[in-house]
Amino acid sequence: MSIDKMRNIGIMAHIDAGKTTTTERILFYTGKIHKIGEIDDGQATMDWMAQEQERGITICSAATTTYWKNYQINIIDTPGHVDFTAEVERSLRVLDGAVAVICAVDGVQPQTETVWKQADEFNVPRICFMNKMDRIGADFFGSMEDVHEKFGVDCLTLQIPIGQGPDFEGVIDLLNMKEIRWHQEDEGETFDITDISDTEKANAQEWRSKLVETVAGSDDELMEIYLEGGEISIEQLKNAIRKGTIARTFVPFVMGSARHNQGVQLLIDAIVDYLPAPTDVPFAKGIKIKKDQQEVIEVPCDATKMPLGLVFKIQYDREMGSLCYVRMYSGKINSGMQLYNINKKKRERVNRILRMHADKSEQIDNIQAGDIAVFIGLKFAQTGDTIGTEAFNVLLEQPKFPQPVISVALEPESMSEKDKMNETLEILSREDPTFTSHEDPETGQLIISGMGELHLDVLVTRMKDDFGVKCNVGAPQVTYRESVGSSAQASEKFEKILGGKENTAGITIQVEKREQGSGNSYEVTCHHANVPDEIMEALENGFKSALNSGIVYGYPCTDIGIKVTNIEYDELTSTTFAFEACASQVFDKACKAADPQILEPVMNVDISCPKEFVGPASSQLSQRGGNIIGQDSKASGEVIHAQAPMANMFGFTTNLRSVTQGRASFSMEFSHFQVKIGGLG
């Protein structure tokens, strides 16, 4: 398959907007599956994990490949729940285009905003599929205006509806100026294309003119024809729409009802017609490593160049072990070939290469630039690792993941379960970079941390059901952070005789408060040419370890800048052990003098409820220290936007349901860390 015939796309949206249903229909119409599974019945192909079928939500970004009109489409179905934001983030990093599924009734919902912003960050071109057009309250034009207002994008209407809600009969294709109506008897599998009826002609003509005007405005050649009153052909329009979509000048809109098979074939056409091939997007950037120098270079998407790929996801399989999902950016990799893991500086062999279809797979001989596949046999690879050859030492940019904000304590039911539990935790943290575990130094308890209550609940259930680990789980706790409120300088000398050998080190550092959300920084500002590399490495490791161990309470540190201003090194007595220990001590001393602070996670909270319950819902939030930022009116009710400390939000679901008679729902996602007033009591 030539690269220009490939499409790497993601399906993204708010929870319950219909992403997985849309993907199921795409697979059905492209002949990949022969029976449509329903999420409501727990039979969806893409939701293959037992828990996904039970809960009716997507947890893993399942990847699948399908074909349509001689085009290869690699689809990644991403989760809509905020607790699984990392899954969306890692997918967008390797995609070339995306389909945003918008609910025609609710318009832009909170998680739609999150994934849209993430797609903007990665410059992902997208098209919109307005789903649930047959639902009561569906409003195509209102929901499209919502997208325009919230995201400031120009919306390009490729179709207009014939009726909306229960009266939805079909669409008018504005490019070909034809009516398309789906047959009720076969649930929309077949459809009729007819001329536009007289009653719809004027409206269709008006929207067609808007379409031509918008498209011509983005293309100088077409603008000339348009201003001279010439006729622009459908082919010229399609080419210009493709160029404008890839350049993110506008976002094309199509519509339908995935649940009832309406509009899916036209959506697949739009995917191959308007979303980019791997060669249409800017080249990936990589860091070329030459001894001590680093140079940013572009990596052309070319199968004849040196091989380079990014491991963007790892999934554990009982029979096959680790499945490494790889997006190839350059060159070609054959099955059985020896590779070089550039991050880990280790050689690995790819035993087999698989083309995935959700949880099923077929073996292939090779994978080339632009494609996505699964590698079996990589032992050291982790999410974000670059694989290639030693001859082409280039690191691709790693995906960035948010920090965990909620923790629970885990205890094995018996000591014999402990090793099994630790092995399982290692597998799960390789799969999911937002899931971490550590031992509490004071209590000796094992603490696991994640992005939310649902996230941890899913992981613990997997440990018990999929891996057979017998363990007890404590109540959820907030994961705090520590920082400093000012600057301070400190010096420390380390002198110890171990095994009859003297170990010495001397360090002076300055610690300072950094901007909120900027993370930690480390630099050596003094002259250190005579200090060996292994000592400098030990020094850095000592500070990294100290940042993870906290200042007062043992929570990880954030937003702290460390500057090493003096190093006292003696080639006879200085050791790596001494410098690592000294770094930890001097960090502790400096931070304790720099007004140490405890930071708590603050969450963005969005509550959806009927108008009459806005007062009680807002009151519940205010009682928990929430700060209401704004409110939106939607066809389905009101949406309250607020921020609240994570520690106050446990058990909020129960309270909210009781004051709103069960008619309100809310979603929460991490916003930022702020100083906790009064510290930890």
β-bridge mates for residue 30, sequence order: none
Q: Which two tokens stand for residue 543?
A: 């500070």
Q: Pick the range with the lowest mean pLDDT from 311-325, 338-352, 613-627.
A: 311-325
The pLDDT of residue 88 is above 70: no
Mean of pLDDT values over 230-246:
93
Distance CA 175, CA 177 (A): 6
| pLDDT tier, 33 (very low <50, low <70, confident <90, very high otherwise) | low
**Residues comprising the chain, all counted:** 681
Phi, psi of 619, rounded to the nearest 5 degrees: -60, -45
Distance of CA 477 to CAs 266, 409, 424, 521, 603, Å? 48, 8, 22, 28, 14
- Closest to 434 measured CA to CA, from 397, 405, 467: 405
For residues 436 and 417, give the distance between their C-alpha atoms in angstroms, rounded to a whole number.
19
pLDDT for 82: 52
Pairing of strands 159-162, 170-173: antiparallel
Q: DSSP string of 24-43? A: HHHHHHTTS-SS---TTTT-
Cα 486 to chain centroid distance, Å, stands at 34
- Structure token digits, residue 601: 């996670």
Distances (CA, A) of 234 to 202, 226, 289: 20, 13, 48
Name the pLDDT band for 360 (thresholds 50, 70, 90).
low
Percent of the chain topping pLDDT 90: 46
**For residue 462, is pLDDT > 80?**
yes
Other C-beta atoms lying within 10 Å of the C-beta of residue 195: 9
Q: Which token pair is 392?
A: 């082409």
pLDDT for the residue 36: 53
State the pLDDT at residue 52: 37
CB 553 within 8 Å of CB 482: yes
pLDDT of 234 > 90? The answer is yes
Please, which residues bridge with residue 194 across strands? 179
Chain segment 104-131, per-residue pLDDT in tens: 998 888 778 878 887 888 899 999 999 9
Inter-residue contact 12 to 99 (CB < 8 Å) = yes
**All domains in the chain, ordered by first residue:** 3-195+250-274 (3.40.50.300), 284-396 (2.40.30.10), 415-475 (3.30.70.870), 482-594 (3.30.230.10), 598-675 (3.30.70.240)
Angle subtended at Cα 229 by Cα 224 and Cα 230, rounded to the nearest 5 degrees: 75
pLDDT(5) > 60 = yes
DSSP state of 497: E
pLDDT at 41 over 50: no
C-alpha 298, offset from chain centre: 23
Cα–Cα distance, 80 to 39 (Å, whole number): 14
* Joined tokens for residue 172: 């008018």
Taking each helix axis from N to C end, the angle separating 264-274 and 19-29, rounded to the nearest 10 degrees, works out to 90
Residue 44 has pLDDT above 50, yes or no: no
Asked whether the predicted pLDDT for residue 418 surpasses 50, the reply is yes
Of residues 637 and 192, the one with the higher pLDDT is 192
Share the mean pLDDT of the chain. 85
* Distance (Å, whole) CA 674 – CA 681: 17
pLDDT band at 60 (very low <50, low <70, confident <90, very high): very low
Other beta carbons less than 10 A from residue 465's beta carbon: 11
Q: Cα–Cα–Cα angle for 496, 502, 507, nearest 5°?
A: 60
Helices (H) and strands (E) in the chain, counts: 15, 38
What's this model's pTM, rounded to 2 decimal places?
0.72
Residue 646 has pLDDT above 60, yes or no: yes
pLDDT digits (tens, 9 = 90+) for 130-153: 999 999 999 999 999 999 998 999
